[in-house]
Amino acid sequence: MNNKDGISSWKIPLYKIYTDDEDLNLITKIVRRGNNWAMGPEIQEFENAIKNYVGTDYCVTLNSGTSALHAAFLAYGIGQGHEIIVPSFSFISTANSVLFVGAKPNFADIEEHTYGLDPKSILTKINPLTKAIVPMDYGGMSCNIFEIQEITKSNNLLLIEDAAESLGSSVKGRKVGAIADLAIFSFCGNKVLTTGEGGAIVTNSKEIHERIKLIRSHGRVDKTEYFNNPSESQYIELGYNWRMSSITAALGISQLNKLDKIIRMRQENANYISSRISKYSQIKVPTPPSGYEHIYQMYTIQLSDKKTRDDLQKYLLKKRIFSKIYFNPIHLTEFYMEKIGTSKISLPVTERISQQVLTLPLYPNMNSEEKEFVVESISEFFESEFLNN
C-alpha cells in the first residue's frame, strides 16, 4: 500500500526510517562534488566506523546482506560436497546463499527463547560433510552464540553468523558480530541501520578480509583507488561487482552516528507496547534472556495458536495496521520442497513457532497516538472480537 511517490498509505506501517538533516547533508555533499559517486573515501570511512563499533579488526561493505553471505562462502572455499547447517526460521537468503556456491543447506531447529539455532539440534546435524554453522540473530537479538561457538570449535567447523538483522545488539557485553569467524549485516530498508540497500562483513581474519575485497570487485587488486589510478590493474581471480556506492556509504556513516539513539528509541517503544499487551494470556511479548540486549529490529509477539494469530492479523489489517509473519519456514517453501526435496524434514519448534509469531509495527519516532492505536486495537480484539468468536 504505497502511493505513486512511494509513501506508505497504511495508517500504521510496519516500519518508518529515522532520518535527519545530517543524512541529507552528507549525501548532498557527494552529489554536489560531481565525482567519485563510486569508490569514494566514504566507503573506507563507513567500514572503519563499523569495525570500531562492532569491535572487529576488519570490515568490508557490499551492496547487500545476500551478497555478503555469498561472498563469505566463496571466501572460505565452500562449495560442492559441503554441507552448511542453517536455520529454516530465517529469511530465505540465509539458505539460498549456500545453494549459490553449490553446497547443501542442512536445516536445524531453533530454540524457543531466542529463535536462534538450537545447539542440541545442531549436534544432531553435524556429519563428515559439514563445513560451517550459520546461526541467525533474529530480529535484533543474538542467538545462543557462545554455545554454538563451543560446538564449532570442538568440531573444527567455521562459524559464519547471519547478523543481518542485529547490528547494534549485544550479548554478554560483546556486540553481535564480534564473536564468530565472520559475520554479515544487512542495511536493507527495514533494518535498524539502513541505507536502502547494502551489507557488510566483519571478521578478525586479514586473509579472509583480503579475499572478500577481491570477490567484491572483479578479482582486482585495488591498491589505490581504481578510478583515480591511470596504471593497469591486476585481475588475479574471478570476482563480482558487489560494491556499495559512495552515496550509500555516506548515508551509512550518518545513520551509524545516531544508531545508539535510534536503538534507545526503539527499545522505549517496544517496552511500552510490551507493558500494555503482556496482560493478555494469549500473547507472549519479546523477552530477552539475561545478558542479551534486544534492539527490536522487529517487534515480534507469539500468540497462543495459529488461529488466534491469523485472526489478530486480519483484525489489525482491517484497521490498516500492518503486521507480518517473520518467518515461514524455508524448508516448507515451494522452491525448497520441490527443487531441494525438503518437505520431509521435521523441525518441530520452527514449524510451531512460525504458526504463532506476528511482527507488529515498531519504529523509532512512533508517536503516542500511533502506539496507543496499535495497543488499543489489540485490546479490542482480545476483549471483544476474539471472545465473541
Ligand X SMILES: Cc1ncc(COP(=O)(O)O)c(C=O)c1O
Interface ranges with ligand X (CB under 6 A): 64-66, 90-91, 93-94, 136, 162, 164-165, 186, 188, 199
Which among 300, 301, 312 is positioned nearest to 279, based on CA atoms? 301
Choice between 90 and 106, CB closer to ligand X: 90
Q: How far is the CB of 349 from ligand X (least distance, A)?
A: 17
Q: Which three cell numbers stand for residue 306?
A: 495459529
Contact 361, 323 (CB under 8 A): yes
Q: Rounded to a whole number, what is the largest CA-CA distance in the chain?
A: 76
Choice between 95 and 277, CB closer to ligand X: 95
Choice between 83 and 161, CB closer to ligand X: 161
Q: How far is the CB of 21 from ligand X (least distance, A)?
A: 26
Q: How far is the CB of 167 from ligand X (least distance, A)?
A: 11
Choice between 136 and 277, CB closer to ligand X: 136
d(CA 378, CA 363): 18
Q: How far is the CB of 144 from ligand X (least distance, A)?
A: 16
Q: How far is the CB of 312 from ligand X (least distance, A)?
A: 23
DSSP 282-314: TEE---PPTTB----SSEEEEESSHHHHHHHHH
d(CA 346, CA 103): 21
Choice between 91 and 292, CB closer to ligand X: 91
Choice between 65 and 283, CB closer to ligand X: 65
Closest CB to ligand X: residue number:
65
Q: 162 — phi, psi (to 5°)?
A: -90, 90
Q: How far is the CB of 69 from ligand X (least distance, A)?
A: 6
3-state class (DSSP) for residue 263: helix
Contact 59, 48 (CB under 8 A): yes
